[in-house]
A = this chain, B = another copy of it.
Amino acid sequence: MTAAAVTAAAAPDLSVQIGKLTLRNPVTTGSGTFGFGSELADLVDLNRLGAVCVKATTSHARIGNPPARIVETPGGMLNAIGLQNGGVENYIREKAPFLRRFDCPIIVNVPGEDPEDFAAVTRRLTEAGVADAIELNISCPNVSHGLDYATDPRLTAEVVSACRKVTDLTLIAKLSPNVTDIRPIAKAAQDAGADAISLINTLVGTSIDIKRRRFRLANGTGGLSGPAIKPIALNLVYRVAQTVTVPIIGMGGIMDASDAVEFLLAGATAVAVGTATFVNPTAVHEVADGIAAYLAQNGFTEVRQIIGAVQAADIRPRTTPEPTQEI
């Protein structure tokens, strides 16, 4: 065995490209599940992350929804945080300096009231030099407006275009699973200038306390995340990967490396670990290490070799009638 072969076997190349960013490995964090990085400093080494995606940052501070904000459900959880955050100026002043100490691309998640609002925050973050990429959160199910944009290709394009005009940073459109057909929406985001697409945000759901006969969440509904939604997320990532050419950041129920590999095989260039961090705060590292182990065990030298590598299924096109037969 040559020295090069030994090295390759020992350490597969995990790096991937998302827009202008080179990630040292394909593992990033789900916005809203990793705070602003500092909270987990004792447990997670930001220098070992592919990128960090921070909690949503809005133009003005938001107090969020009243409690209860989170309930557990079978295999998952519902959240209705309501985008509580200190606003963009607070982010720039209080949160960004910590993150900038690390060699880790920062993705800032940006919701907005309308295209102008999205663009204003994007512009401010760009000018201040406190983000390496902007993830447009056009898909938050827990606040007004949030959801509407990602349910319509035209509205999606409006938000993306508005932001594209004001930033050269890598622009990521975060899509919603709560739609009839995600493909035209993904296409619209790409055509409007998104450098990448992330999905999925949470699915709308609810839970009722039968003793008190009221909704468990003060907000009524919340967003479902966690292992329960993984099959749905995986299918949407596959669909979108068949539709767009820009890279995809896949997420939804990734708890371990094996889940992450499923997303990569389905066509995601990177993955985000969300709810898993609550259960296992070091999941981000375990997922990255596990992907490396999978590659080594299966004779791959680069993570890029498995992206979209799932063998195409014999999925019949929906317009061809099924064969029928009298039995």
Chain A residues with CB under 8 Å of chain B are: 58, 60-63, 66, 73-76, 78, 82-83, 86-87, 90, 113, 143-145, 147-148, 151, 178-181, 203-208, 210, 212-215, 217-222, 224, 226-232, 234-235, 238, 253, 258, 261-262, 265-266, 294, 306, 309-311, 313-327
Contact = CB atoms under 8 A, between A and B. Distances in A.
B234 A62 contact: no
B318 A145 contact: yes
B221 A232 contact: no
Contacts of A73: 227, 230-231
A214 to B, nearest CB: 4
Given A60-B324, A74-B227, A235-B205, A210 B311 contact: no
Nearest to A66: B314
A318 B214 contact: no
Contacts of A179: 179-180
Given A63-B323, A87-B326, A238 B294 contact: no
A318 B141 CA distance: 10
Contacts of A314: 66, 218-220
A262 B78 CA distance: 16
A326 B320 CA distance: 56
A324 B75 contact: no
A231 B315 contact: no
Nearest to A211: B298
B74 A230 contact: yes
Given A76-B228, A224-B231, 6 more contacts: A58-B324, A62-B322, A73-B230, A205-B234, A207-B262, A208-B262
25 contacts: A63-B324, A63-B325, A73-B230, A73-B231, A74-B75, A74-B230, A75-B76, A75-B227, A87-B327, A143-B322, A144-B316, A145-B319, A148-B318, A179-B180, A205-B232, A206-B234, A208-B310, A210-B258, A210-B262, A210-B265, A213-B309, A214-B313, A215-B311, A221-B235, A221-B315
Given A82-B322, A324-B58, A266 B208 contact: yes
Nearest to A221: B235
Total copies of this chain within the assembly = 2
Nearest to A64: B322
Contacts of A113: 321
Contacts of A325: 60-63
Contacts of A311: 212-215
Contact of A229 (B226, B228, B306, B310): B228
B144 A231 contact: no
Given A231-B206, A323-B63, A74 B214 contact: no
Contact of A322 (B144, B235, B324): B144
Contacts of A222: 231
A209 to B, nearest CB: 9
Contact of A74 (B78, B213, B228): B228
A145 B321 CA distance: 8
B213 A326 contact: no
A75 B75 contact: yes
Contacts of A205: 230-232, 234-235
